[in-house]
């Protein structure tokens, strides 16, 4: 083993350990990541399972088609097939290449629809949070607690140790762990999208419309990072989402503080006041 290779090996394992430590307890993209983020919650788990099933199916199809192409190119090349056949159609093959893809699509459709309807089940949510997208920050309103606050991205000079750049915010969306939460997603200006990959939640935020989604935050304290997923203007890439799951007692403690700091004022015009403040 050359000295250069040893050095490379040491450096890469060091990087791996350092990054591995820094992302422990957080769901975010990792350097050299291939594939999806580790799923959190039942929707994400089901979506990952469906993705893995589709990966197997499309790999088998691609390998089969590639094999056919290579075989035809080799078997019917000019030297081995000097007199080309003038066949124009073959009924058996035509029926097969219609019926087999239909069957494959049906096989794919069953788990897809099952997941789609599962994601639609917003009833039985233990709490509701209204998410409002703005150019270029998020507003979170805890409807039952009468609190509301804005969430802005931290600039580079505001980052604390361990906080990922372009993903950290001043006021994260604090949620209790092990809880089913319904989001009502809406917008205040242009079209945005609320997207947290590890929780498998992605919903468009429109003016004048509220879209429903739900997540079941898994047990355990963890931070889930996401971003606006719809190009919404010059600062589109600077409106990250941070969902921070706390244990129930810590969440209750945070709630007491939040009720002082982020209390919604009474009256019908608070939403307008919140949106004017920029
Ligand atoms: Cu946006």
Mean of the per-residue pLDDT values of the chain: 88
For residue range 72-100, list pLDDT tens digits in order.
999 999 999 999 989 999 999 999 999 99
29 domain-assigned: no
86 shares a domain with 131: no
CA of 50 to the centre of ligand 1 (A): 28
Out of 119, 151, 179, a domain closes at 119
226 domain-assigned: yes
269 shares a domain with 134: yes
| Average pLDDT of the segment spanning 224-236 | 95
237 shares a domain with 212: yes
Looking up residue 188, the CATH number of its domain turns out to be 2.60.40.420
172 shares a domain with 60: no
Domain that holds residue 151: 127-276
For residue range 173-189, list pLDDT tens digits in order.
999 999 999 999 999 99
CA of 202 to the centre of ligand 1 (A): 12
193 shares a domain with 74: no
| Average pLDDT of the segment spanning 56-79 | 96
Instruction: Indicate whether 135 pLDDT > 70.
Output: yes
CA of 170 to the centre of ligand 1 (A): 17
110 shares a domain with 142: no
CA of 158 to the centre of ligand 1 (A): 21
Instruction: Indicate whether 164 pLDDT > 70.
Output: yes
CA of 234 to the centre of ligand 1 (A): 9
CA of 225 to the centre of ligand 1 (A): 15
CA of 15 to the centre of ligand 1 (A): 32
230 shares a domain with 142: yes
Residues of the chain above pLDDT 70, percent: 86
Query: Measuring CA to CA, which residue among 169, 155, 134 is closest to residue 274?
Result: 134
203 shares a domain with 253: yes
Give the separation between CA 74 and CA 66, rounded to whole angstroms: 12
Report how many domains make up the chain.
Answer: 2
* pTM for the structure as a whole: 0.79
132 shares a domain with 114: no
223 secondary structure, DSSP code: E
CA of 193 to the centre of ligand 1 (A): 6
3-state secondary structure of 175: strand
Out of 81, 97, 119, a domain closes at 119
Give the separation between CA 87 and CA 162, rounded to whole angstroms: 67
263 shares a domain with 139: yes
Put the strands of the sheet holding 127-134 in their side by side order: 147-151, 137-142, 127-134, 179-187, 211-217
Instruction: Indicate whether 221 pLDDT > 50.
Output: yes
13 domain-assigned: no
25 domain-assigned: no
CA of 79 to the centre of ligand 1 (A): 59
147 shares a domain with 272: yes
Out of 119, 141, 175, a domain closes at 119
Instruction: Indicate whether 271 pLDDT > 90.
Output: no
131 shares a domain with 235: yes
For residue range 144-162, list pLDDT tens digits in order.
899 999 999 999 999 998 8
| Average pLDDT of the segment spanning 220-224 | 95
């Amino acid at each position: 083993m050359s000295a250069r290779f040893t050095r490379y090996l040491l450096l890469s394992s060091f990087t791996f350990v350092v990054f591995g430590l820094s992302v422990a307890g957080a769901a975010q993209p990792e350097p050299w990541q291939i594939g999806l983020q580790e799923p959190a919650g039942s929707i994400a788990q089901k979506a990952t399972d469906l993705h893995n099933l589709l990966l197997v199916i499309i790999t088998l199809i691609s390998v089969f088609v590639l094999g056919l192409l290579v075989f035809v190119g080799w078997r019917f090349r000019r030297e081995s097939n000097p007199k080309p056949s003038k066949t124009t159609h073959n009924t058996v093959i035509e029926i097969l290449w219609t019926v087999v893809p239909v069957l494959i699509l049906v096989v794919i459709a069953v788990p897809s629809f099952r997941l789609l309807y599962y994601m639609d089940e917003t009833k039985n949510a233990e709490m509701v949070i209204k998410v409002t997208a703005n150019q270029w920050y998020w507003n979170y309103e805890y409807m039952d607690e009468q609190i509301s606050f804005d969430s802005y991205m931290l600039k580079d000079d505001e980052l604390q140790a361990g906080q990922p750049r372009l993903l950290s915010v001043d006021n994260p969306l604090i949620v209790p762990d092990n809880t089913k939460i319904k989001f009502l997603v809406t917008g205040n200006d242009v079209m945005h999208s609320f997207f947290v990959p590890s929780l498998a939640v992605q919903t468009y935020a429109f003016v004048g419309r509220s879209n429903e989604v739900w997540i079941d935050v898994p047990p355990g304290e963890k931070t889930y990072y996401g971003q606006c997923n719809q190009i919404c203007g010059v600062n589109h890439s600077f409106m990250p989402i941070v969902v921070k799951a706390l244990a129930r007692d810590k969440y209750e403690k945070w709630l007491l503080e939040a009720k002082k700091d982020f209390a919604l004022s009474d009256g019908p015009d608070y939403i307008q006041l919140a949106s004017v403040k920029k």
